[in-house]
Amino acid sequence: MSEHHHPNYVKIWAILVGLLVVSVLGPMLGIQIVTLITAFGIAVVKAYLVAKNFMHLNIEKRYIVYMLTTCLVFMFLFFAGTAPDVMEAEGSNWEKPSFELYDEAASHTVGHGTAHH
Amino acid sequence: MAETVPSHPPAPEEGHPHHEEMSFWSKYIFPLDHKMIGMQYLFTGIAMAMVGGFFAYTFRMQLAFPGIEVPGWGLVSPADYNALVTNHGAIMIFWVAMPVLIAAFGNFLIPLMIGCDDMVFPRINRLSYQIFFLSVLVLIASFLVEGGAFGGAWTAYPPLSAKAEYSLTPLGSSLWLLAVALEFVAFLLGGINFITTAMNSRAPGMKMYDIPIVVWMIVLASIMFMLSVGPLVAGAVMLFFDQQLGTGFFDPARGGDPVLWQHLFWFFGHPEVYVVLLPAMGIVAEIITVFARKKLFAYKTVLYTAFGTGILSFTVWAHHQFVAGIDPRMAHIFTITTLLISVPIAEMCFVYIATLYGGSIRLTTPMLWALAFIAEFLIGGVTGIFLGASGADIYFHDSYFVLAHFHYTFFPIAIIGFYAGITYWFPKMFGRMLDDRLGKIHFWGTIIPFNGIFLPLFILGLAGQHRRIYNYEHFPELATPELQALRVLATVSLLVMLGFQLVFLVNFVRSLRRGEKAPQNPWKANTLEWQAPSPPPHGNFATLPTVYRGPYEYSVPGRAEDYWPQNAPE
Amino acid sequence: MSSRPIATTRSATEIPTGKLAVWWLLGSEIVIFGGLLASYIMYRLAHDAWHAQAAATNTWIGAFNTLVLLTSSLTAVLAHQAAEEGNGPKAAKLLWATIGGAATFLIVKAFEWTMEIRHGYTITADTFWSFYYTAAGLHAAHVLAGAVVMVFVARSAARNQELHRVELAGIYWHFVDIVWIFLFPLLYIAK
Amino acid sequence: MIERLVASASSYAPDIDGLILLIAVLVGFWFLLTEAVFFWLILRFRARDGQRAEYITGEEKSQKRWITIPHLLVLVCDIFIVVGAVRVWYEVKQHLPEAQQTVRVIGQQWAWSFVHPGPDGRLDTADDIKTVDELHLQKDVTYHFELTSRDVLHSLSIPVFRLRQDAIPGRVIRGWFRPTKTGVHDFQCAEICGIGHGIMAARVIIETPDEHAAWMAEHAPTTSLAAAAVR
C-alpha cells in the first residue's frame, strides 16, 4: 500500500471545509430546493470524499465497496418497504388521526423552549 | 492482529514455554481455544433448551387441562402464561438455535474445517461468549424482578411492550429487551470473527469451492445476521427509551407509530429464520454426503441458492404484517417476493434429495436425523406457502396454523439439526463414540411424538383458533370438545417427547465417560476436521494441512477407498 | 506452535485480517445508524411540526463540531501516513491531536446539550428531541469509543509498535466522521 | 375443507376457502411427490455389500435438468398461487364495495366496544347504539367497519367471516364484510394485548332483518330515554 501515491490530504480537508461553509450558508437563502441540495447533496459529496480519500476505499479491494454498498441498499429497501405505512398519514382504507392531532399540538408548543430565553 | 501476549491463557510468567497444564480456570472458564468456547456455547444452549422445554411443558399442560396445578410450576395465571410463551419463543430462537447452530458448531467447526489452528480473534471470541452469558443472566433476572417476566410475545410489539401501565411488567420488559440486545452484541462480535476467519485463514490450497457447505452456511448466516440486525438494534434503543425514559418513539399520541417497530423487528425477524436455517442445512449437507458416500449434487447450485435465499429474505419481511395494519397495496409486493423465495429453498431441498440418488446409504443415527430434517422441513416449507399468500393469510394470521408451520421449520432447524450435528461430530468433539442403539431409540422417540404435537395444531388453526390464548373456554363456539381432544393429544405427545430426551442425556453423559474411544475418522469423511486427532488438541493439527480438492469427493471411480480426504496429496 | 494462532497470520483475501474485521464492523454500524436515521427521516417527513422544533437547534455549534470532526479526520489520515512511513512517534502525536478533536467535540456537545436541556428541550419534550438526543448520543458514544481506542493505539505507536493499528483506528474514525456529516444536515440544517 | 371445522358466514369466506384449497392442492401435490421420491431413494439406495455409490457431480446439464425442471414447475405453481392470493386480497382488503351500514369497532384492554349506527343508519348521531362485547349485524347487508384501538394493539378476528385485521392506536382502518347466515359466533382478539388477552372475547350476532329491527328498537338510546322519561 505504501507504494501508491498519496492524495494531498490537506487539500481535501480544505475542500471539505469549503463545502461545510456552503452547506451552512446555503439554507440561509431560505429557498427550500437550495437547502435540500446544499444540505444533503453536499453531505453526500463530503461523505464520498472522506470515504474515497481518507478511508482509501479507492484502492481497497472491490468487494469491500460492494459489501458496504449492499448495507446501504438494504437500508433503502427498508425505507421503501416501511415508508408507505409509517411516513404517510393516510393510505388505502386507513388513516392516522393521531398524526394530525400531534402536529397540531406540537406546533403549539414551539414557543415553550424559547420562552425561557 | 499482532498479539504480544501468548494466545492461550497466561501462564503466570510471560515467555515461559507453554504446554504446561493450564489451570481449570483458564482452560474451561476463560478459554481462548475456539473448541472450548464452542463447548461453552453448546452447554449453555443445551441448558437453555431445557428451560425452554420446561416452559413448553408448563403452558401445554395449561392448554390441555386448563386450571390444573402443573407439577413443577403450580397454577398458571394469565400473566404466567404470557410470560411463558414469550420467553419460550425468545429462548428457543435467541438462546438455543443461535448459540447452538451458529456459535457452537461455528466455533468448533470453522477453524477445523478450513484447516487452521484457531479463530483469528480468540479474545474477541471469548468476549462474545461472556456477553452472551451475561445476556442469559439478565434474562433469568427478568423472571425474578418485581412485576414478573415480560409477557408481550417475542415480537414485543409496542405499545404493549413500551408502557408499564399496559404490560404490567415495568422491569421485566426492560430486562428482557436488554438481554436480547446483549445477545445481539455477542453474535455481532462472534459473527465478525467467523466471517474474517473463514475469509482469511483458510488452509493453503483451499479455494472458494473447496470450502465445506456448512462453513459457507454459517458464514452466510453471520453476514445475514449482521446486515439485518442493525435496524432492530436501533429499534431496541428506541423501545428501551420509551420504556425507561418515557419518550414517544412508538406512541401515536406523540407522533410515533407502533407499526414502525413491526417493520424494524421483521426486517430482522425474517432473515433471522434463514440465519438459523442455513447452518442446519449445512450440517445436513455434510451428513448426507458422508453417509450416502456421494458427492454433493451440484455444489455450486447449493451455494447460489443459499445466496439467492439470503438476498431475497431481505425483501419479504412484511408478510408477517399482512393484516397488521400495513397498506393493503404493499401486501401484493410482499406476496410475490415471499412466493419467489420458495424457489431457491425448494431447489436446495431438491439438490439434497438428488444427492441420495445412486448413493450407498447407511442409516446411522446422524443420517437418520439428517433425513428426518429434510422430510419434516418440507412440511414446514409447504405450509409456509399458505401464509405467504396474502389472501389466505387473512384467515391464518396468528392462528395455530402459523404456530404449527413455524414449529415445523424451527424444530427441524434447532432440534433435529442440533441432534444431527451432535451425533455426527460427537466423536470429534469428545473423542468417544455415542451409543448407536440408544441414539436410534431417542431418534424415533423424538420424531414420532414431534408430529403428534404439531399435526393436530394445524387442525386447530384451520378451525380458527388463535395462539397465545391461555384458556379457550371463553369461546364457546370455537372450543369444542373435539378440538380440546386434539390439544390434549398435542400435550401428551409433548410429554412423551420430553421423556425421550432423557435417553439422549443418558447416552450423552454415559458416552462422555465410558463410550468407546473414537478413531480419528470414524465415518471415513473427507473434510479436514476428521484429519485431526479426536478430540483435537489445542492448535488442532500436528501439522497444518494443505488442501488439494473439494470436500465431497466420495466414491471417486478408480480409487480403492471410497473417500478421499481433502488434504491427501494423492 | 507460536504464541499466537497461525490463523491470524494468514490472509487468503490479501486484506489484512484486522482491516477486514474493521470493514465488517463498519458494515454492521451502517445498518444500525441506517435503521435509526431511516426511522427519523420517515417521521420527519410525516410531521410538519418538526420544522418548528428543529429551528431551536443551534446550527453554529453543529457547524463548529463538524469542522472539529473534519479536522480530526485529517490528523487521523496524516497519522496513518506517518505510520506507513514507519514514523511511530509522529503518528502518535497526530493521533493525540485526533483524540483532542474527539474531546473538543464531546465538550462542545455537553455544553450544547446542557443549554438545550435548560431551555426545556429534554429528550421527552417532543419526539423530535427524542431522535435528536438518541441519534447524536449514539454517535457521541462512538466518538468516545474511538477516542479510547486511539489512546491505546497512540501509546503503542509512540514506541513504534503495532503501527498497522493506526490505519484501523483511522478507518473507524473516518466512519464516525461520515455519520456526523449526515447527522449535521438532518438534525441542524433542515429547518 | 374448513367449513367442516368452522361455519362460513360471509360473502367472501368461500373465496378464501377456495384459495386455501387451491394452495393445498398445488403444494400438496409437490409435497407428496417430493416425499415419495425421497423415501423411494432411501429404500432403493440402501448400502449393499460390495456395491459402491456412483460418482455424480450434478454439474453437467443433463444432470442438472433433474433440478431445474421441477424448479421451473414450482415457479409456475407459484404464479397460480400469487394470482389467486392477490385476487382474494384485493377483494377482501383493498377494494371496499359500497356500504349499506357502517359500524365502529374499538379495542381496548380487554374488551371490544361497538358503535352501531342505530335506526337512522348513520354513525355519530344521537341514536347510535353502543355495546360492549356484542356486535349485532343484519344478514345480507354490506357493512363497513372502522377499526381502532384505545391503548395497545388488538386484532379483530371473526373466524366464520375468515377475517382478521389488527387494530392500531392512533390509526383508523376500514374494511368490510357481508354476513350471509344468521347465527351467534365467536369474535376474538388475535394480537397479544396483555394479561387479559385470553378473555377478550366478544360475540357477533347475525340476525334476520326483523330480529335486527326489533333489537334496534329495543336498544336505540332515544327510545330508551323516551321510555325512561315516560316512566
In this structure, is residue C92 part of a structural domain? yes
Which A residues, 7 through 66, put their C-beta within 8 Å of a C-beta on chain C? Answer: 9-10, 12-13, 16-17, 20, 23-24, 27, 35-36, 38-40, 42-43, 46-47, 50-51, 53-55, 60-61, 64
Backbone phi, psi, residue C104, to 5°: -55, -45
Q: Is the CB of A96 less than 8 angstroms away from the CB of B231?
A: no
D74–chain B nearest CA distance, Å: 7
pLDDT of residue C114: 96
**CA-based nearest residue in chain A for residue C55:** A110
In this structure, is residue C18 part of a structural domain? no
Question: Which CA distances in Å does D191 have to B152, B210, B325, B397, C4?
Answer: 10, 48, 12, 10, 53
Domain, as residue range, for D205: 101-230
pLDDT of residue D3: 86
DSSP state of B74: E
pLDDT of residue C2: 41
pLDDT of residue C24: 96
B541–chain A nearest CA distance, Å: 31
Is residue B26 scored above 90 in pLDDT?
A: no
DSSP state of B205: T
Mean pLDDT value across residues A23-43: 83
For chain A, which chains pass the contact test of at least 3 CB pairs under 8 Å? B, C, D
Among B436, B414, B421, smallest CA distance to B510 is for B436
Q: Transcribe chain D into DSSP letters.
A: --TTTS---BTTHHHHHHHHHHHHHHHHHHHHHHHHHHHHHHHHTB--TT-PPP---S-SHHHHHHHHHHHHHHHHHHHHHHHHHHHHHIIIII-PPPPSEEEEEEEETTEEEEEE-TTTT-SSSTT-EEEESEEEEETT--EEEEEEESSS-EEEEEGGGTEEEEE-BT-EEEEEE-B-S-EEEEEEE-S--STTGGG--EEEEEE-HHHHHHHHHHH-HHHHHHHHHH-
Same domain (yes/no): D72, D123: no
In this structure, is residue B360 part of a structural domain? yes
Domain, as residue range, for B363: 29-549
Contacts with B253 from chain A: Cβ below 8 Å: 98, 101-102
Same domain (yes/no): D9, D113: no
Helix (H) or strand (E) holding C110: helix C88-118
Same domain (yes/no): D151, D42: no
Count of domains forming chain B: 1
DSSP state of B543: S
Same domain (yes/no): D40, D108: no
Give residue for cell 463545502: A19
What confidence tier does C91 reach under pLDDT thresholds 50, 70, 90? very high
Q: Pick from D62, D94, D126: which residue ends a domain?
A: D94
In this structure, is residue C9 part of a structural domain? no
Higher pLDDT, B1 or C76: C76
What confidence tier does A107 reach under pLDDT thresholds 50, 70, 90? confident
Question: Which CA distances in Å does D168 have to B161, D18, D93, D171?
Answer: 14, 29, 16, 6
Mean pLDDT value across residues B38-60: 96
Q: Is the CB of A86 less than 8 angstroms away from the CB of C43?
A: yes
Is residue B519 scored above 80 in pLDDT?
A: yes
pLDDT 10s digits, B241-290: 999 999 999 999 999 999 999 999 999 999 999 999 999 999 999 999 99
Backbone phi, psi, residue B41, to 5°: -60, -40
Q: Is the CB of D170 less than 8 angstroms away from the CB of A92?
A: no
- We report the CATH number of the domain holding residue C169 as 1.20.120.80
Map residue A29 onto helix, strand or coil. helix
Among C100, C79, C93, smallest CA distance to C165 is for C79
pLDDT of residue B18: 46
Is residue B24 scored above 60 in pLDDT?
A: yes
pLDDT of residue D220: 82
In this structure, is residue C103 part of a structural domain? yes
ipTM of the complex: 0.94
**Residues of chain D with confidence (pLDDT) below 50:** 226-227, 229-231
Q: Is the CB of C123 less than 8 angstroms away from the CB of B245?
A: yes
Same domain (yes/no): D165, D193: yes
Length of chain A: 117
Nine-digit cell string for D224: 330508551
Helix residue ranges, H only, B293-399? 299-312, 328-356, 365-388, 390-396
Question: Given A20, A27, A87, which is nearest C46 (Cβ)?
Answer: A87
In this structure, is residue B8 part of a structural domain? no
pLDDT 10s digits, B131-165: 999 999 999 999 999 989 999 999 999 999 999 99
Count of domains forming chain C: 1
Question: Given C6, C38, C127, which is nearest B248 (Cβ)?
Answer: C127
Q: Is the CB of D5 less than 8 angstroms away from the CB of B475?
A: no
Length of chain B: 570
pLDDT of residue B61: 96
What confidence tier does A113 reach under pLDDT thresholds 50, 70, 90? very low
Q: Tell me the residues of D at the A interface, defined by beta carbons under 8 Å apart.
A: 93-94, 96, 169-175
Give residue for cell 424448479: D71
What confidence tier does C10 reach under pLDDT thresholds 50, 70, 90? confident
Question: Given C39, C45, C120, which is nearest A113 (Cβ)?
Answer: C120
Q: What is the pTM of this model?
A: 0.94
Which C residues, 156 through 175, put their C-beta within 8 Å of a C-beta on chain A? Answer: 170-171, 174-175
Q: Is the CB of A99 less than 8 angstroms away from the CB of B327?
A: no
pLDDT of residue C12: 87
Calculated CA dihedral for residues D163, D164, D168, D174, nearest 10 degrees: -20
Q: Is the CB of B555 less than 8 angstroms away from the CB of D52?
A: yes
The answer to whether C83 contacts chain A (CB < 8 Å) is no
- We report the CATH number of the domain holding residue D173 as 2.60.40.420
Domain, as residue range, for C127: 70-191
pLDDT 10s digits, C34-65: 999 999 999 999 998 898 888 899 999 999 99
Q: Pick from D54, D75, D94: which residue ends a domain?
A: D94
pLDDT of residue B1: 37
Q: Is the CB of A13 less than 8 angstroms away from the CB of C74?
A: yes
In this structure, is residue B128 part of a structural domain? yes
A104–chain D nearest CA distance, Å: 14
pLDDT of residue A104: 85
Is residue A3 scored above 70 in pLDDT?
A: no
- We report the CATH number of the domain holding residue B269 as 1.20.210.10
Mean pLDDT value across residues B204-211: 93
Same domain (yes/no): D121, D89: no
Distance (Å, rounded) from C-alpha D213 to C-alpha D116?
12
Mean pLDDT value across residues A29-34: 80
Contacts with A32 from chain C: Cβ below 8 Å: none
For chain B, give the mean pLDDT: 92
pLDDT of residue A5: 66
B2–chain C nearest CA distance, Å: 7
In this structure, is residue B563 part of a structural domain? no
Q: Answer whether B549's CB lies under 8 Å from B125's CB.
A: no
Touching chains D and A? (3+ Cβ pairs < 8 A): yes
pLDDT of residue A4: 57
pLDDT 10s digits, A76-85: 999 999 999 9
Is residue C29 scored above 90 in pLDDT?
A: yes
Identify the burial level of D43 via C-beta atoms within 10 angstroms of its C-beta, where 0-12 means exposed, 13-18 middle and 19 or more buried: exposed
Q: Is the CB of A94 less than 8 angstroms away from the CB of D173?
A: yes
Q: Answer whether A102's CB lies under 8 Å from B254's CB.
A: yes
For chain D, which chains pass the contact test of at least 3 CB pairs under 8 Å? A, B
Q: Is the CB of C67 less than 8 angstroms away from the CB of A17?
A: yes
